[in-house]
Amino acid sequence: MFVKALRVGLGQLIIFIDFLTRPGKKQRPAEAQAQVNSAAKDLTLYQFHACPFCVKTRRTLRRLNVPVALRDAKNNEQDRQTLLEQGGKIKVPCLRIEENGQTTWMYESKVIIDYLDKRFAAA
């Protein structure tokens, strides 16, 4: 019971600190942002709201100004089941990438952040 309360409290603290220190969004010309928005339609992030690694990944999405669909794999049973059945495991963060008719499930915040930086930082 105490451990669960501690975990919830720390999760809320992480979310609060993220709110206070949230990075600004990257500014792009309208045409370039439209291209980023179009490319982001093929991305979905499966995450837990208070997971520190998910927060780190969401901060990168905000910093790069990439509007990615978020799925709550903790509180939404359908999203959790999709992550398990199609991604292979319930582990977050997980970025679902749909390109050229293929779906890739990318795990690990560092790998996801590297992918996002390479794909969208120069855009």
Tell me the CATH number at 51.
Answer: 3.40.30.10
d(CA 121, CA 50): 25
Q: Under DSSP, is residue 94 helix (H, G, I), strand (E, B) or coil?
A: strand
99-109 tens-digit pLDDT = 989 999 999 99
Domain of 43, in residue numbers = 36-123
Say if 7 falls within a structural domain. no
Asked if residue 13 belongs to a domain, the reply is: no
Residue 117 lies in a domain: yes
Tell whether the model's pLDDT for residue 14 goes beyond 90: no
Q: What's the first-to-final CA gap in the chain, in angstroms?
A: 47
What does the alpha-carbon distance between residue 36 and residue 55 come to, in Å, rounded to a whole number?
21
Judge contact between 44 and 96, C-beta under 8 A. Answer: yes
Tell me how many domains the chain contains.
Answer: 1
* Helix, coil or strand: residue 89: coil
34-62 pLDDT tens trace:
999 999 999 999 999 999 999 999 999 99
Query: Whole-number mean pLDDT of the chain?
Result: 93
The answer to whether residue 69 is domain-embedded is: yes
Q: What is the pLDDT of residue 112?
A: 98
For the four alpha carbons of 28, 32, 36 and 41, in that order, the dihedral sign comes to positive
